[in-house]
Structure 1
Amino acid sequence: MSKFVAALPMYDWPEARGEVDARWARLRDAFRQGGIEAPETIVRSNGDLLPVPGGILDKAGKLIAPDPATLPAYELDFHQLWLSPALLFGQTCWGPMELGLAEHVQVVAQPSYDAFEGGKGEFYSSALVMLADGKASVPAPADGRAVIPLDLMRGRRFTFNNPDSMSGLIALTRDLVGLGESLDIFGSRSESGGHRSSIIAIAEGRADIAAIDCASWALAQRFEPAAKGVKVVGWTARRKGLPYITARTTPEKTIAVMRDAIAAVESGASEQSLVQRVG
């Protein structure tokens, strides 16, 4: 059994898990060729995480998370995963990173979003989606600037995936501030729990608008029937996409090996995630 854990949770939709597993297998084998004891499979629940008796401590010895063994085994607490001292390889969002996670982890690399409308290199944007009305969706701007339809948004019911999401909430908030507006432009705000849930809420008439990151929007168009009932009415500005991370205690030599392995694997794959080197 490996002393490390790995996960790719951010786009791990049930319908795409075979693709995610195959992607990890390529990375795992490349890491092992570089001498890293990479785990055989990725984790998808708290029960898959390694126990930490007494809880997870920061570098000053302060308790920052409970022992994973004390949490519901069949759920997955993202923050618990990210803070695990056994985390060899994972992926997070810059929202949590800006809100304090960055001091507890190290960034390994940035994936590319070139394969998605609204993405370019390591940068991504969010599609602003509303109920379809028979008119065409708004294409993503080539220059990556925000396209914010204030008149369509005013007084509407806004739903977002979670409060620390860059793509679902923070990015739009910042773009609105840049236009002299705020989230108060909306008639109401609610938390859906996930991008997919936001799309379903709009299609079912329980919300009017949401910001969905371009990769999740692509997944929705493939796998979520409710996506056929909504359309894109605008875009947030491009921002740095979801980083690959590792535990704060991972040696720099190991990180360097992982960076080389990721670059080699992803640059040779005819898929959506060529990697921008970090460092």
Structure 2
Amino acid sequence: MYQMPELEPMVSAWWQGLRQHLVEQGLNHGDLPILLVDPNDYYAHWRNPDLLLSQTCGYPLTHDLQNQVQYVATQSYQTAYTKGPNYCSLVLVHKTNTANHMSQLKGAILAVNSVDSQSGYHALRRFIAPLSGNKRFFSEVVHSGSHRQSMALVASGEADVCAVDCVTYGLLQIHAPATVANLRVLTHTQSTPGLPYITSLATSPATLGKLRNGLAAAALDPTLKSIRQQLLMGPVEVITGPYPYQEIINQADQANALGYTQLV
């Protein structure tokens, strides 16, 4: 889930509703925590052989977690930049920045949240690759640790640009508007599937079906409609095919083929 202090009551309410639907599908109460936990080590959490349900980023799913977890489904979100299960990143600059094309930011200071983030790092890497000419594009890349901190660095002038997924931006527009008040959207990246729900490789096909059915039911539950609206949540979709997140791999390969293997 998108974690931010302003959303904690809504995320908690959503989980309680989802938990009930999972129980109704036949999952054991004892296997479903009453309260959501924020793990200290996400990769250890995602790789836990007893993992029943979690949500990760698309880039870890297709790279560091490849063949280590099972894909369950994709939560869709409703913003001006999303379509079905797909989302994109928004390239943000300070509202006083006069650039009207990404090429005008050559030599700028970039803030990134994490090198394993599709939305904050690799989507932008694919976007910049054709512009870089196989050379350094940014004067400096600052690692912020989170989308919100990347935005704060741009808003304060400590960085010139960052890429933030459109759902994070949309949620902050609603629930913490001061966060985006000094920023503007310069452009957006190509789209990819959004944050996937995952489970352990040990999860049986029967349990996987119960997880999918419970998620789908919660996404249609009228008693949870207000919560979903506040969290910008749409339907839950299962992307079919052997490689549902292949577009993320494709975009990474395209950037690599252009010689732009990291944001520099």
Q: TM-score, normalised by structure 2?
A: 0.80
Instruction: Give 2:157's aligned residue.
Output: 205
Distance 1:181 1:43 in 2: 44
Partner-residue secondary structure (3-state), 1:163: coil
Mapped pair 1:26 → 2:17: yes
Summarize the Cα distance change of 1:205–1:180 in structure 2 as closer, same or farther, 3 Å threshold. Answer: closer
Mind listing any 5+ residue stretches in structure 2 that lack a counterpart?
Answer: 241-264
Residues 44-75 of structure 1: CA deviation (Å, up to 9, x unaligned):
24xxxxxxxxxxxxxxxxxxxxxxxxxxxxxx
Q: Which has the higher helix share?
A: 2
Instruction: Give 1:95's aligned residue.
Output: 59
Distance 1:158 1:239 in 2: 22
Mapped pair 1:218 → 2:170: yes
Partner-residue secondary structure (3-state), 1:158: strand
- Look up the equivalent residue of 2:27 and give its one-letter code: I
Instruction: Give 2:214's aligned residue.
Output: 261
- Contact 1:196 1:224 survives alignment (8 Å): no
Mapped pair 1:35 → 2:26: yes
Paired-residue identity, %: 31
Instruction: Give 1:191's aligned residue.
Output: 143
- Contact 1:118 1:125 survives alignment (8 Å): yes
- Look up the equivalent residue of 1:273 and give its one-letter code: G
Residues 15-43 of structure 1: CA deviation (Å, up to 9, x unaligned):
10111111111111011111112222211
- Quick one: which of 126, 141, 152 aligns to 2:89? 126
Mind listing any 5+ residue stretches in structure 1 that lack a counterpart?
Answer: 1-7, 46-75, 139-148
Distance 2:107 2:36 in 1: 43
- Look up the equivalent residue of 1:111 and give its one-letter code: Q
How many residue pairs were aligned?
Answer: 228
- Quick one: which of 107, 115, 120 aligns to 2:71? 107
Distance 2:159 2:185 in 1: 15
TM-fit CA distance, 1:238: 0.9
Q: TM-score, normalised by structure 1?
A: 0.76
- Contact 1:173 1:182 survives alignment (8 Å): no
